[in-house]
Amino acid sequence: MIRVENLRKSFETKSETVHAIDGVSFEVAAGEMVTLLGPSGCGKTTTLRCVAGLERPTGGRIVVGDQAVVNVEKGVFVPAHLRHLGMVFQSYAIWPHMTVFENVAYALEGRKISKADARKLTMEALETVQLAGHADRPAPRLSGGQQQRVAIARAIVGKPQALLFDEPLSNLDAKLRVEMRTELRRLQKQIGLTSIYVTHDQAEALAISDWIIVMKDGKIVEYGRPTQIYRYPANAFTAQFIGSTNLIPGAVRSVDGEHVGVDTAYGVLVGIDKTKRVRNGDKVWLSIRPEDLASDAAGVNRIDGHLDFAIFAGAAVEAEVACGDLKMFCLLGRDAPMTPGEPISLSFGPDVAVVLPQD
């Protein structure tokens, strides 16, 4: 378990004070993978580095397992090497002059264990990442994905309390990234280690996380399961940052449980507000994912427009439809109209149109 409470970190530069983390609190349950996700500069790396002990917070507390590693008020700061954490970085920091075995065993240097035990632990770690057969190979003679697995073996060889991942896949090419994220997810579940993962890649976060924390300007803006955050984001920032979405502005006209009638430029459209936050008259957005729009006019809500352009993308037709002032981006069925200028009616059900307050 990892618990972060009211964490703060500011940096003094020549001209200003940068509040990199501004009161961040979250918990990672044993065995779970929590991802810190957000745009560049939102504070996710600094948060991870504070947990790792590579950065001294200016406020707050951090507990790893049953050890309080940071308590700024009480002057507690446990150095990185005594926190028993494994780290996997963006650059794998693999030693080119060593074999795969030596690269992993190196992480045990300085431990008071016998050579035989070190060998056993190293081989166990290599087996976990399915590289035992490559133990004697020079490290540079491995593919990018294999090098990444060496980095993971090195992070787990010392039996850490938790694993911290800092954008570990960002140096890989697109195809390998997708393969490795599945692999990482499988490994993390197999090892069962409590993990924090930092990325700015929303697709990666959706694929590998038990929970996602969305950060912006040093603060947490949302915390939830990947499916929940994707389907029912709580604010327009998350809706736009995770996946793509269409935002239709309007004002609440009626509220009936979770269903909300919204006055828009296209008439009254019905959406869903699971949080039951909005009231009559509130200014809101209706957020509709491209894949939830259809061109068959079957849904409760309908918007008329003209096809701007369409691309046949195999599994779907990617289309942009001009509806009054708005351009709606849609993933339509393969039989959707494709001729620019053609009139088109987009429809969607109330349960895929998430009502979000306009801040």
Cβ proximity of 270 and 261 under 8 Å: yes
User: Which listed range, 22-30, 36-44, 107-115, 327-335, lies at the site for ligand ATP (CB under 6 A)?
Assistant: 36-44
Interface residue with ligand ATP among 20, 153, 242, 352 (CB under 6 A) is: 20
Q: Which is nearer to ligand ATP, 13 or 227 (CB)?
A: 13
Sheet holding 2-12, edge to edge: 17-28, 2-12, 59-64, 67-71, 76-77
| Footprint on residues 317-346 left by ligand ATP (CB under 6 A) | none
Interface residue with ligand ATP among 24, 28, 32, 45 (CB under 6 A) is: 45
Cβ proximity of 93 and 151 under 8 Å: yes
Closest approach of ligand ATP to the CB of residue 30, in Å:
25
Q: Which is nearer to ligand ATP, 42 or 94 (CB)?
A: 42
Cβ proximity of 288 and 245 under 8 Å: yes
Q: Which is nearer to ligand ATP, 25 or 190 (CB)?
A: 25
| Footprint on residues 183-222 left by ligand ATP (CB under 6 A) | 200
Is residue 118 near ligand ATP by the rule CB under 6 A? no
Distances (CA, A) of 358 to 237, 264, 268, 355: 10, 14, 17, 9
Enter the DSSP assignment of 265.
B
Is residue 40 near ligand ATP by the rule CB under 6 A? yes
Interface residue with ligand ATP among 4, 7, 37, 44 (CB under 6 A) is: 44
Q: Which is nearer to ligand ATP, 201 or 308 (CB)?
A: 201
Dig out the tokens for 64 from the structure: 């790893």
Place of tokens 């490559």: 134
Burial of 339 (0-12, 13-18, 19+ CB in 10 A): exposed
Residues near 117 by beta carbon (within 8 Å), at least 6 away in sequence: none
Closest approach of ligand ATP to the CB of residue 170, in Å:
9
Dig out the tokens for 310 from the structure: 């369409």
User: Which listed range, 38-46, 234-242, 250-258, 291-299, lies at the site for ligand ATP (CB under 6 A)?
Assistant: 38-46
SS3 244: coil
Is residue 13 near ligand ATP by the rule CB under 6 A? yes
Is residue 46 near ligand ATP by the rule CB under 6 A? yes
Q: Which residues sit at the interface with ligand ATP, rule CB under 6 A?
A: 11, 13, 18, 20, 38, 40-46, 200
